[in-house]
Structure 1
Amino acid sequence: MGKRLFILLVVLMSLSLIGIIFVQSFFINNSLENEEKNFTRSVTIALSFVSRDIQDYEIKRFYGLIQPYLAENKEPDSTIIRQLYITTEDDINDQTIIHRNTVLEERFKVPPSLFFEIDADSIDVSNFTSERTTNYYERSTIDGGLAIKPTKTLVEYSNLPEIGKQIYKDSYKTLLRDVPIYKRVTSHQVETLLRRQLKDEGIELDFEFAIYDDDLATKVHTRNFDKSGAYIGVPIFLDNNNESNYRLWVDFPDRKKFLLSSILWMILLSILFTSVIIVAYSSAIYQLIKQRQISQIKTDFINNMTHEFKTPIATINLALDAIKNPKIIADQDKVKRYLGMIKDENKRMHAQVENVLRISKLEKNELNISKERLKLHDLIGNAVDHVALIVEDRKGYVKTHLEAAKSSVLANETHFTNVIVNILDNAIKYSDDAPKIDVYTENIGNNIILKIADQGNGMSKQVAKRVFEKFYREHTGNVHNVKGHGLGLAYVKRIVDDHQGHVSVESEKGKGSTFIIKLPLIS
């Protein structure tokens, strides 16, 4: 996959993921707004019913107080009679029908102290009585337009006709307008009505309420009501013009929690599915990047291996061509020399192949490593002997500082010697000047610490974190400037881990590196 195509795919996938998250957030926010609108509508309906019930209860209560008073007064202060006649002709039954509606309005003087302390000498209260009479006359009984005798009469009585009810209602509204609110309704009444109406609307939440006269608080309120957080209010105690200075406010401290709980399952599912998508996306991107890195590392590995094999093969071909020369073949010394070169180059290629196969077997856990009791100091000495000639040839040194009093470990002699040799070989290869290497040992608790410090090129912290990865080599612009294929330190870590040890590196660019191996001691 090309770099541009890879970047394009990552960008498109990222934009798609961001789009999904945005859509989910928009949908959840929209659902929350709808829930809030429904909640507001339900609360408004409940408050409207409460306002109506409070006013209706007040009017019925005062009408109930007046009725006994009216019954005690035999003589009204004044009486007004209103009559209405309606005449209809019934041609089918040959008769005339006369409807008469009589409304008797009796006015009484009522002392205001019966209800409240009102600044007035008396209050006019009317008692209405309605009588409806329907007379049926045969046309033969009517002489000159005057009914002589009705053939049938229907009479209906009503103590309070509709017009009377409305007059009472309007009169009470005017009368009670100046009465203090706390004398008209109590906090307990309001709370009871509110709780009942809200429950009917499906809202069972704790609430705070208060009745305000314009912007002034009244005595009708709950203890913890806060006007600044009031949710919604409706007018209460409307006058005859449907206006009022009083307003009933209500607040729900747990309103947001209630609204969120209604769509909680939707939020949780959205978070769950979005998280799954993010994890899957991140994993896919990580795998793609890792595969690209592995592909690049393998490409470098193949190039290095090709380079490592190319030189021995070329040397062997040249030696074979030389031996074929009749002049050379007669010279036994030269033939032996060329045969020795062929043998050395063959060993070199064999060692490279063995190194690769060894790492492969370690990865598959197919390499059987037998361990025995060994002195780590002895293994260090053997490893130093392997590289001594190379170090001397480059005018360098390897100094040992074996200060550990105990050095007995359970190890495989061959593999652990190779571990130390590989680290020493790296120190030699990555020293531009004469290699200067110091080897230290010390005991810490039940462990022995081996430190191999050089004064070579060193490495950056980023490289130090990945130096033990298989095939990894620091990129310097020319992957062949130092021979190798990135398997040596991977082999070191794998063998140390197999010995229940730990390996790490401390390094600074231009100041050298220190490899630290920690192994458990055996008694």
Structure 2
Amino acid sequence: MGKKMFVLIVILMSISLIGIIAVQLYWIDNAVESKNQQFTNDVKISLIRVAERINEKEQDLIDRKIEGMIENIGLANAAQIKNYFFQEIDTTNKQTFSLGATYLEENFKLPAEDFLDNDSIILKRISGKKDFFQTKSFAGMDNNTPPKVLRTSFTKRYTNLEKEYNYETFRSLFEKKPINQRVSNRELNATIKDELNKKNIFLDFKYGVYGVDGLATKLKSGYYTINKKDSYRHPLFFNSDNLPVHYLYVTFPTKNNHILSGISGILLLSLFFIFIIIIAFSSSLYQLIKQKKISEIKTDFINNMTHEFKTPIATINLALDSIKNPKIISDQEKVVRYVNMIRDENKRMHTQVENVLRISRLEKNQLEISKETVDIHDIIEEAISHVHLLINDKGGSVETHFEALTPEITGNEFHLTNVVVNMLENAIKYTEGAPKIDVYTESTNKFFIFKIKDEGIGMNKSVQKNVFDKFYREQKGNIHDVKGHGLGLAYVKEIVDKHHGTVFVESEKGKGSIFTVKLPLI
């Protein structure tokens, strides 16, 4: 996959993810807003009904007071009886409607001293009854069958008060009273609670009644203060000009929790899916980057492997061509030298292939590792002897510092020897000039620890994170100043893991490296 295509795919995936999350968040916000609007509408309707009930109750109180006054007066100042009759005939449907009414009109004038400014009030009381009749005829099946007659009737009795003249003067008596005498805290609280419950709102609330001038009244719950941002307001009482006199404010401390709880199911589900989408995207992106990295590493590995095989193959070809030369084939000493050269180069290629296969078998758990009690000090000495010629060839040295009191562990001698050999070869490869290597050992109650320290080129932090990865080499691309395929340290980590140990590196660019291996004791 090309770099441009890779970047394009990542950008498109990122845009898609951001778009999906944005849509989800939009719908969540829309759901919260809808729930909040519904709550607001329900509260406003409830407050309207509260104001209506409070005003209706006061109106009933006024009417009862007037009725009491009328009863105290006794006889009306003027009275007359009136009759009313109405009839309508529908010939098409053969129906007759009749309405008759008889009612008594009584006029009362209440004493002037009971009102403000010596005003008086005239009331008209109307009481009586209404009689309604309906007759309907149905034709028979033939001319010999008489028609059927259906008759319905009802009587309605009523009493009504009609206020005339200066009735509002009487009402002004109530308006002059302090509001806490017109309605009590207990009554107002119960009315608000009842109306809210009708709208399925069972939340704790706080309320307060304020005048149009913003001054607080005694009608409030606790130490209530106006919070216009979170409060709901509605007029409670009106004056004679139908203008608000007092406002009722209601606040819900747990409103947000109530709104969120109403959509908690869909909210949690949306957040869960957003989380799944992010995890899936992150995983996909990680795998995509990882596969791209592996592809690049494998390309480097193939280039390096090709280069490593090219030299021995060329050497073998030259040796074979030389042997076929009649002058050389008769020289037994040269033939033997060329045959040994072919064998050494073949052995070298075989070792390289074996390293690759060994790593593959380790990853697939196909490599059997038998374990027995071994002495790590002996294994380290054996490994040093394997690389002795390489070190001498570069004019270097290896110093051992064995301080471990208990060097015996349970492990595989062959593979542990290869581990030490690979680490020593790595130290030799990445040292410019004569390698100087120190091997330290120590032991704790549970672990045997050995360290291999070199004074080579070292490595930076990013290289240290990947140095144990398969095929990884610090030199990228087709660069062959250092031999190898990036398998040595990967093999080291696999074998150490198989022995339930750990391996890590401490290094600084230009100052060398220290590889540390911890293996459990018997």
TM bucket normalised to smaller: 0.7 to 0.9
CA–CA distance in 2 between the matches of 1:462 and 1:6?
A: 22
Q: Match of 1:228, SS?
A: coil
Gaps of 5+ in 1: 113-117, 135-154
CA–CA distance in 2 between the matches of 1:91 and 1:380?
A: 128
Partner of 1:124: 120
1:40 paired with 2:36, answer no
CA–CA distance in 2 between the matches of 1:167 and 1:159?
A: 20
5 Å-filtered alignment, 1:356-371, equals 356-371=356-371
Q: 1:124 to 1:411 in 2, by over 3 A?
A: same
1:105 paired with 2:107, answer yes
Question: Any idea what the Cα deviations from partners look like across 1:321-378, whole Å, max 9, x if unmatched?
Answer: 0111111112111111111111111111111111111111111111111122121111
Check whether the contact 1:130–1:157 (CA below 8 A) recurs between aligned residues.
no
- The worse-fitting range, judged by mean Cα deviation, of 513-522 and 59-68 is 59-68
Partner of 1:148: none
- The worse-fitting range, judged by mean Cα deviation, of 82-91 and 221-230 is 82-91
Partner of 1:515: 515
Check whether the contact 1:86–1:100 (CA below 8 A) recurs between aligned residues.
yes
Q: 1:388 to 1:160 in 2, by over 3 A?
A: same
1:221 paired with 2:217, answer no
Q: 1:159 to 1:443 in 2, by over 3 A?
A: closer
The one-letter amino acid of 2:217's match is: T
- Post-superposition shift, 1:410? 1.4
5 Å-filtered alignment, 1:444-459, equals 444-459=444-459
Question: Any idea what the Cα deviations from partners look like across 1:453-477, whole Å, max 9, x if unmatched?
Answer: 0000111111111111111111356
The one-letter amino acid of 1:128's match is: K
CA–CA distance in 1 between the matches of 2:27 and 2:328?
A: 88
TM-score (norm 1): 0.87
Q: Match of 1:320, SS?
A: helix
1:177 paired with 2:175, answer yes
Partner of 1:152: none
5 Å-filtered alignment, 1:3-82, equals 3-74=3-74, 79=77
Q: 1:378 to 1:57 in 2, by over 3 A?
A: same
The one-letter amino acid of 2:197's match is: K
- Post-superposition shift, 1:294? 1.0
Q: 1:269 to 1:430 in 2, by over 3 A?
A: same
CA–CA distance in 1 between the matches of 2:392 and 2:86?
A: 143
CA–CA distance in 2 between the matches of 1:58 and 1:379?
A: 105
CA–CA distance in 2 between the matches of 1:131 and 1:378?
A: 125
The one-letter amino acid of 2:195's match is: Q
Partner of 2:297: 297
- The worse-fitting range, judged by mean Cα deviation, of 120-129 and 420-429 is 120-129
CA–CA distance in 2 between the matches of 1:384 and 1:408?
A: 18
Count of aligned pairs between the two proteins? 488
The one-letter amino acid of 2:468's match is: F
CA–CA distance in 2 between the matches of 1:311 and 1:14?
A: 47
Q: Match of 2:459, SS?
A: coil
CA–CA distance in 1 between the matches of 2:89 and 2:207?
A: 65
Partner of 2:242: 242
- The worse-fitting range, judged by mean Cα deviation, of 12-21 and 386-395 is 386-395
- Post-superposition shift, 1:160? 2.9
CA–CA distance in 2 between the matches of 1:25 and 1:168?
A: 61
- The worse-fitting range, judged by mean Cα deviation, of 184-193 and 57-66 is 57-66
- Post-superposition shift, 1:68? 2.8
Gaps of 5+ in 2: 91-98, 131-154
TM-score (norm 2): 0.87
- Post-superposition shift, 1:405? 1.8
The one-letter amino acid of 1:498's match is: K
Q: Match of 2:349, SS?
A: helix
Partner of 1:140: none
| The one of 174, 182, 186 aligned to 2:184 | 186
Q: 1:168 to 1:466 in 2, by over 3 A?
A: farther
Partner of 1:2: 2
Q: Match of 2:387, SS?
A: helix
- Post-superposition shift, 1:202? 1.9
The one-letter amino acid of 2:125's match is: T
Q: 1:371 to 1:90 in 2, by over 3 A?
A: closer
5 Å-filtered alignment, 1:368-447, equals 368-447=368-447
- The worse-fitting range, judged by mean Cα deviation, of 10-19 and 55-64 is 55-64
* Identity between Structure 1 and Structure 2 (%): 47
Q: 1:361 to 1:171 in 2, by over 3 A?
A: same
Check whether the contact 2:127–2:160 (CA below 8 A) recurs between aligned residues.
no
CA–CA distance in 2 between the matches of 1:88 and 1:520?
A: 115
- Post-superposition shift, 1:36? 1.5
Check whether the contact 1:456–1:511 (CA below 8 A) recurs between aligned residues.
yes
- Post-superposition shift, 1:105? 2.1
| The one of 198, 220, 231 aligned to 2:196 | 198
Q: Match of 2:111, SS?
A: strand
Q: 1:300 to 1:437 in 2, by over 3 A?
A: same
Check whether the contact 1:431–1:456 (CA below 8 A) recurs between aligned residues.
yes
- Post-superposition shift, 1:303? 1.1
CA–CA distance in 1 between the matches of 2:478 and 2:454?
A: 23
Q: 1:75 to 1:300 in 2, by over 3 A?
A: same
Partner of 1:143: none
Q: Match of 1:471, SS?
A: coil
Q: 1:264 to 1:27 in 2, by over 3 A?
A: same
- Post-superposition shift, 1:17? 0.8
Check whether the contact 2:383–2:421 (CA below 8 A) recurs between aligned residues.
yes
RMSD across aligned positions (CA):
2.9
- Post-superposition shift, 1:250? 0.7
- Post-superposition shift, 1:103? 4.0
Question: Any idea what the Cα deviations from partners look like across 1:56-82, whole Å, max 9, x if unmatched?
Answer: 111212322342333223467xx4679
Check whether the contact 2:70–2:108 (CA below 8 A) recurs between aligned residues.
no
Check whether the contact 2:446–2:520 (CA below 8 A) recurs between aligned residues.
yes
